[in-house]
Amino acid sequence: MNTISETDAAPQAPIRTPKGWKRVGWQGVTANTPDAWNLAAYGGDARVGNIRIDNGETAGNAVMGVEIRWSRPKKALSAADLEKRLDQYLTSVDKGAKKQKLSADTKSKPLEDRRFPVRTARSFHWRVDRKGVGRIWHCAECGRLMIAQVVGAAKGDFQHLAHDVLASLECHSADPAWRPWSLYDLHTEVPADFTLKGKPQLLNIYVQLAFERAGTTDLVTVEQWGVASVQLRNAYLDEWFQEKNSAQESSLRYQSEETTIHGHTALAMTGRRWGLTYWGAQAIPQLTRLQLPAIHYAARIWECPETNKIFLIQSYTRRLDPTLVDRIVERTVCHPVPEEAS
């Protein structure tokens, strides 16, 4: 099994994006997009999946965003394979246009980007009643076939913006042991052997992502609340935590102590799952399936006054893993770090 050792490389430098832009990350795919764009749709998993990040406009042509799809072909794709795949896509655009009695203008050519050796990537362009500017590539490192396009109004002049979005796209993270997740101002990373569990909650005021380590009961949750001052209403962090966590308070035994996270006052909780609730509902069925129950519990909670947000990261593991939650905390950026004076 792929376990993360304590000798991991240091966390990556905080994400820096141009002013007015932000980093979005999903299933290991990351891209810079304008601030106003948000995750609008997603599907699949790290192997085969897709996301759409857009400006949320619903008035006809004003919708603009980027669509990204990925899959993992069984074998490496040649330049000819890529061209063929892209031709199939552009043919479908053409057919769609004809159905609407419109004509399509499509183009594609090998992409010259210094990140890709020429001939393993292609750029393309299509125009019907909307316009798409995209690229397709097969990555030798992560094995993903990626197709990404920025789509907007046919008359829109967004060539420059599309280029900036597409050029910022990364199909895998620099550190293969960690996978970045960035959305709604939440920027975190979890070990790559943890996969998204269940349906995430994605709201401006509340984001919750849950991850499980494949084939085990190990679980990590990352939560972010907006408008911290309203949420806290003079309650101390520990009271607030107990209230938010009330559903499982009775099945947890933990000690909490004050600590500092990213310069803010924080609480660190360490303990175990306990009691009939947990044993009855989950642990016994897990034991009968010969899975070790995840009884070791750790949590970190902090308030970031700079961004007016509260962060809660919790881990449940089969084996004592006291640094897991802290390593995720290190990689969870709550406020922009000022540029170091040189």
Residues at the interface with Zn ion (CB under 5 A): 139, 141-142, 171-172, 262, 304, 306, 334-335
Task: Find the Cα–Cα–Cα–Cα dihedral 242, 236, 336, 183, rounded to 10°.
Answer: 30
- Least separation, in Å, of the C-beta of 292 and Zn ion? 33
Task: Name which of 54 and 193 has its Cβ closer to Zn ion.
Answer: 193
Task: Name which of 130 and 335 has its Cβ closer to Zn ion.
Answer: 335
- Least separation, in Å, of the C-beta of 5 and Zn ion? 23
Task: Find the Cα–Cα–Cα–Cα dihedral 322, 327, 332, 338, rounded to 10°.
Answer: 130
* DSSP structure class, residue 249: H
Q: H or E element: which one contains 22? A: strand 21-26
- Least separation, in Å, of the C-beta of 335 and Zn ion? 4
Nearest residue to 222 via CA among 235, 232, 209: 209
Task: Name which of 82 and 128 has its Cβ closer to Zn ion.
Answer: 82
Task: Name which of 139 and 269 has its Cβ closer to Zn ion.
Answer: 139
What are the two backbone dihedrals, phi and then psi, of residue 309, each rounded to the nearest 5 degrees? -130, 155
- Least separation, in Å, of the C-beta of 123 and Zn ion? 17
Task: Name which of 52 and 138 has its Cβ closer to Zn ion.
Answer: 138
> In 3-state terms, the chain is what percent helix, strand and coil (to 5)?
20, 40, 40
Distance CA 132, CA 104 (A): 11
CB atoms within 10 A of CB 301: 24
- Least separation, in Å, of the C-beta of 310 and Zn ion? 10
